Chain A
Amino acid sequence: MANPSAVCNGHLHHQKQNNLLKSGTSKKNGITKGIKKNGVSNGSLSKKAFIEHFEQAPMYVAVLTFVGFGVGTIFGYLRDFMRAWGLEKRNVATEREQQKDFVPLYQDFENFYTRNLYMRIRDNWNRPICSVPGPQFDLMERVTDDYNWTFRFTGRTIKNVINMGSYNYLGFAETDADALKTVAKELQKYGTGICSTRQEMGNLDKHVELEKLVARFLGVEDAMVFGMGFATNSMNIPALVGKGCLILSDELNHTSLVLGARLSGATIRIFKHNNIQSLESLLRDAIIYGQPRSRRAWRKIIILVEGIYSMEGSIVRLPEIVSLKRKYKAYLYLDEAHSIGAVGATGRGVVEYFGMNPDDVDVLMGTFTKSFGAAGGYIAGKKDLVDFLRTHSHSAVYATSMCPPVAEQIIRAMKCLMGLDGTTQGLQRVQKLGKNTRYFRRRLHEMGFIIYGNDDSPVVPLLLFMPGKIGAFARRMLEKNIGVVVVGFPATPITESRARFCVSAAHTREMLDTVLNALDELGDFLQLKYSRYSKSAHPELYEETRFELED
């Protein structure tokens, strides 16, 4: 349970122990361990320990972060003032002469943050590359003459930068001619576009093949694929729920889920991230009190969660949520954008990771962009559900279907994962990813960085906290030939800026070691090793991966 406010400055607060023990988790120094109780009715005991870390920073760090932002804001106001009075050059594009008396298109204040804080470190994002986004790529060198307002390409490329930013979990983003043989063939046969929607003339035999394969892979009755991952959520949630329904969505859900929920017109209530108590109390209140003004019963209640949360690296507590949903008769929509292919013994996602039955989840959704190196999304579940979506989904009626070479790439990746192509390459990739993840996380813990998230998730956020360090970190890593991704406000809370690493099965041990050594140096130089629990503390916690339940 992510509840850092219970721990403050390293002191353990014992008053919360009672509540926590009831639900089967124990909290120690900001590290949560979940002891799985036998709450799943199909009788299986999951013996895995659920270790998630959400350590809070020491107090001085929080203070310095606020100071940093304060300084940035003051300078921002100063700069704006100077710009308004003509003392400083305006670099932003301006409105046309003929349209100067129109209502202004942008409010000045909306862009305050963008103009003054984001602009300073803008060179760390949107970096163009010119090769396949595999474990290493070639970056185009960019310089700026006017402090990040405009960029200029020098024409040189920085070769073989280690890629710790792309979502290439299983390493399928490759250009090996042998591997892409079938894709090239389909490209030659089908061309690159479809020019029609699914319900009109855009349903190819390739789509039918792909859908059958997806259903088989996930172990469900039927599946439907869509052209774009983001759009899968925003176009299908409105088809499933409408007015008079209730959506319970996690605090940290992705924009696509939020947009889909908003477009549907249903009432949305938010529960704290991965917090089962919060969800249960919301469910009870919803059923007991009904709709807000009319007190009528809700038509349906849907819980929206993700498999792995991309900014936190935490994994959803699926067994508890499934038991809650059974008890209160709600429906569960699981978005496995990052977790499909990345967790689970054979790469089938969080459902397999927890050893559960795919029938427990009503709507399984995922995208092919991350682990499969292609593009698009799918929704899978019972046949009734998929039939309904075929007739009522916005995407099926108005949006073009997936293009054939992309479908072929997914088919070959899935066949490889399932072992249908005759090799064990798929399984090897999944295991390699697991090994890489655990190694990476263990070493980072040992070095003393604050890492968020579950021990098994390949998304590794490393906390930086202070705004100044965001820019410094990314630039220095690039100097060492390592490409990282840094995120700040508004994607994360304002004080918790972080660098996010995506471990891939294609990374070799040497690459990971290079990155770790660079991080070690940089951590000392930039003073990033905030964790109070480095090498010496609690080594036994990392060794224990099995729990025998006493009852």
Chain B
Amino acid sequence: SFQEKEELIEEWQPEPLVPPVSKDHPALNYNIVSGPPTHKITVNGKECINFASFNFLGLLDNEKVKNAAQASLKKYGVGTCGPRGFYGTFDVHLELEERLAKFMRTEEAIIYSYGFATIASAIPAYSKRGDIVFVDEAACFAIQKGLQASRSNIKLFKHNDMTHLERLLKEQETEDQKNPRKARVTRRFIVVEGLYMNTGDICPLPELIKLKYKYKVRIFLEESLSFGVLGEHGRGITEHFGVNIDDIDLISANMENSLASIGGFCCGRSFVIDHQRLNSLKCFNTLVLVSVLFNLRLQKCKAGTRSEDCLFYLDVFQTLQEKCKRIHRALQGISGLKVVGESFSPALHLQLEESRGSRESDVKLLKRVVDYCMNNGIALTQARYLEKEEKCLPPPSIRVVITVEQTEQELDKAASLIKEAAQSLLN
């Protein structure tokens, strides 16, 4: 009745819009960086050597890059004021796509304006409700969101465990034989990362390709960390393993790590990439221009020439890998902390060997280690996760990032400082 309805409306009390956040929530107070986050960084007023930004090739500070960006600022201004479809495509965007495709030796490339959005919109463009996706447990959050947006069936396999994956694929095959009509229209994908952000190791690409042809699944490779790091020319994990790039259906990467800019791209065969131009959700957005032009210069020299125009020489990838190996060795044997990641991976994790009971206490302990290092001139950070939202939450850890700009003394200093901190605080 009307009276009862009015009463119900009166009585109903919603929850507060947001739950209150305690003042000492670990993620509430950000570190404030004054000045550019380059090799020497000023955090919270202290000058430190930067071991926390993913500036692998040191391009954040490069003069030539800045000059090119200034030139494009003068010509184009800052923003594009419109999505790709409505006069938001500039000639430099098209040139960048061409160069990326040429560099990666694929047919076509498409650029996005935001790194997180790249893989999160590429996956739902191909995989829809009813399709099946096999994804590694340690996949990063952007991939998880892409999968959630696609509404497909997700099957997780243990990190880098090819036997588990094969078992899942076999199970799927037997399912298919029961219902061949449905099987003929469900698409199947494997989504893996080249260099995993959460664990610092690489995926076994040659075995994946064998599985691909055996079970007829398509592979989507996410190369955010490995692009510009692995391989002789920096082309990523396909070059590292010497695999034919056409075997991978889609490679997606973000340009925010080694290329020190904003945005991401997807490359592959025209058959695959063209679909994204109309159907991808977040491609329809404005692209920041200033960072685009200097990317071109990058690509020019990455193609392998040793001209004056070049931003760096080809042996930069070698140098980076040597530095990674050096610090990996130096960080072994610290009591209380273990190193997680491959020896040539520039983004390592330091996890506690034994947990102190709860995640909170682990996080607090690691924070003390980080603070000790920051007070003594090495900027580190903890790897941050959204605890409630991740599918497989990695244990708390300290992120150590190696860049080409760090000298050997600095690497040694960092290693010894971490050893000191661990000894004094963890024992």
A residues adjacent to B (C-beta < 8 A): 93-96, 98-99, 101-107, 114, 118, 125-134, 137, 140, 163, 165-168, 173-175, 177, 180, 183-184, 187-205, 208, 227-231, 235, 240, 255, 259, 262-263, 284, 287-288, 297-301, 328-331, 362-363, 368-370, 372-375, 384-385, 387-392, 394-400, 403-406, 409, 483, 485
Closest to B7 in A: A288
Q: Which residues of A sit under 8 angstroms from B311, Cβ to Cβ?
A: none
Digit string of B234-259 for contact with A (CB within 8 Å is 1, else 0)? Answer: 00000000000010000000001101
Q: Which residues of B sit under 8 angstroms from A409, Cβ to Cβ?
A: 78-79
Interface segment among B59-67, B357-365, B404-412: the answer is: B59-67
Q: Name the residue in A102, A125, A398 with the highest tally of chain B Cβ atoms < 10 Å from its Cβ.
A: A398
Interface pair A195/B37, CB less than 8 Å apart: yes
CB of B356 within 8 A of chain A? no
CB of B52 within 8 A of chain A? yes
CB of B290 within 8 A of chain A? yes
Interface pair A196/B52, CB less than 8 Å apart: yes
Interface pair B66/A106, CB less than 8 Å apart: no
Closest to B67 in A: A188
Interface pair B60/A231, CB less than 8 Å apart: no
A372 to B86, CA, bound (A): 17
Partner of A391, one of B27, B41, B126: B27
CB of B15 within 8 A of chain A? yes
Interface pair B286/A375, CB less than 8 Å apart: yes
Given contact pairs A188-B66, A228-B113, A373-B78, a sample of 11 additional A-B residue pairs in the complex whose CB atoms are under 8 Å apart: A131-B76, A175-B73, A188-B70, A192-B69, A194-B37, A195-B37, A202-B33, A205-B35, A374-B79, A375-B78, A397-B141
Digit string of B1-41 for contact with A (CB within 8 Å is 1, else 0)? Answer: 00001001100111101111100010110111111111001
Q: Name the residue in B115, B116, B217 with the highest tally of chain A Cβ atoms < 10 Å from its Cβ.
A: B116
Q: Which residues of B sit under 8 angstroms from A287, Cβ to Cβ?
A: 8-9, 12
Digit string of B267-279 for contact with A (CB within 8 Å is 1, else 0)? Answer: 0011110110110
Interface pair A189/B36, CB less than 8 Å apart: yes
Q: Which residues of B sit under 8 angstroms from A370, Cβ to Cβ?
A: 81
Q: Which residues of B sit under 8 angstroms from A205, Cβ to Cβ?
A: 32-35
CB of B233 within 8 A of chain A? no
Interface pair B25/A391, CB less than 8 Å apart: yes
Interface pair B43/A129, CB less than 8 Å apart: no
Interface pair B269/A191, CB less than 8 Å apart: no
Interface pair A300/B278, CB less than 8 Å apart: no
Q: Least Cβ distance of A478 to chain B in Å?
A: 11
Q: Which residues of A sit under 8 angstroms from B153, Cβ to Cβ?
A: none
Interface pair B81/A485, CB less than 8 Å apart: no
Partner of B282, one of A128, A129, A195, A230: A230
Q: Least Cβ distance of A208 to chain B in Å?
A: 6
Closest to A175 in B: B77
CB of B395 within 8 A of chain A? no
CB of B261 within 8 A of chain A? yes
Closest to A130 in B: B91
Residues A127 and B14 in contact in the complex (CB < 8 Å), given A132-B75, A196-B54: no
Interface pair A175/B75, CB less than 8 Å apart: yes
Question: What are 21 of the A-B contact pairs (CB < 8 Å)?
Answer: A93-B270, A93-B274, A96-B271, A102-B218, A133-B87, A165-B86, A180-B77, A190-B35, A201-B41, A204-B32, A204-B34, A205-B34, A263-B145, A300-B15, A369-B80, A373-B77, A373-B78, A384-B18, A390-B27, A405-B78, A406-B78
Closest to B56 in A: A195
Interface pair B85/A126, CB less than 8 Å apart: yes
Q: Which residues of A sit under 8 angstroms from B32, Cβ to Cβ?
A: 203-205, 208
Interface pair A229/B76, CB less than 8 Å apart: no
Q: Which residues of B sit under 8 angstroms from A187, Cβ to Cβ?
A: 66, 69-70, 73, 290
A102 to B382, CA, bound (A): 43
Q: Which residues of A sit under 8 angstroms from B383, Cβ to Cβ?
A: 200
Q: Which residues of A sit under 8 angstroms from B87, Cβ to Cβ?
A: 127, 129, 133, 137, 163, 165-166, 483, 485
Interface pair B271/A95, CB less than 8 Å apart: yes
Interface pair A114/B278, CB less than 8 Å apart: yes
Interface pair A192/B17, CB less than 8 Å apart: no
A194 to B255, CA, bound (A): 11
Q: Which residues of B sit under 8 angstroms from A229, Cβ to Cβ?
A: 285-286
Interface pair A184/B52, CB less than 8 Å apart: no
CB of B394 within 8 A of chain A? no
Q: Which residues of B sit under 8 angstroms from A140, Cβ to Cβ?
A: 91
Interface segment among B185-193, B313-321, B328-336: the answer is: B185-193
Closest to B247 in A: A98
Closest to B112 in A: A228
Interface pair A331/B218, CB less than 8 Å apart: no
Chain B, 173-213, CB within 8 A of any chain A CB? 183-188, 213
Q: Which residues of A sit under 8 angstroms from B114, Cβ to Cβ?
A: 227-228, 230-231, 399-400
Closest to A180 in B: B73
Q: Name the residue in B54, B86, B145 with the highest tally of chain A Cβ atoms < 10 Å from its Cβ.
A: B86
Interface pair A230/B52, CB less than 8 Å apart: no
Q: Which residues of B sit under 8 angstroms from A193, Cβ to Cβ?
A: 55, 59-60, 256, 259-262, 291
Interface pair A125/B86, CB less than 8 Å apart: yes
Q: Least Cβ distance of A382 to chain B in Å?
A: 8
The 8 closest A-B pairs by CB, nearest first: A388-B18, A399-B116, A193-B260, A203-B30, A228-B114, A93-B271, A166-B81, A201-B52
Q: Which residues of A sit under 8 angstroms from B274, Cβ to Cβ?
A: 93
Q: Name the residue in B114, B246, B271, B291 with the highest tally of chain A Cβ atoms < 10 Å from its Cβ.
A: B114
CB of B379 within 8 A of chain A? yes
A378 to B4, CA, bound (A): 42
Interface pair A374/B78, CB less than 8 Å apart: yes
Residues A203 and B31 in contact in the complex (CB < 8 Å), given A94-B271, A188-B66, A195-B60: yes
Closest to B254 in A: A400
A105 to B287, CA, bound (A): 28
A184 to B389, CA, bound (A): 39
Residues A299 and B381 in contact in the complex (CB < 8 Å), given A96-B246, A231-B116: no
Q: Which residues of A sit under 8 angstroms from B259, Cβ to Cβ?
A: 193
Interface pair B285/A98, CB less than 8 Å apart: no
Residues A388 and B19 in contact in the complex (CB < 8 Å), given A165-B82, A201-B43: yes
Partner of A105, one of B18, B113, B126, B260: B126
Residues A128 and B13 in contact in the complex (CB < 8 Å), given A195-B53, A204-B34, A255-B281: no
Q: Which residues of A sit under 8 angstroms from B384, Cβ to Cβ?
A: 197, 199-200, 397
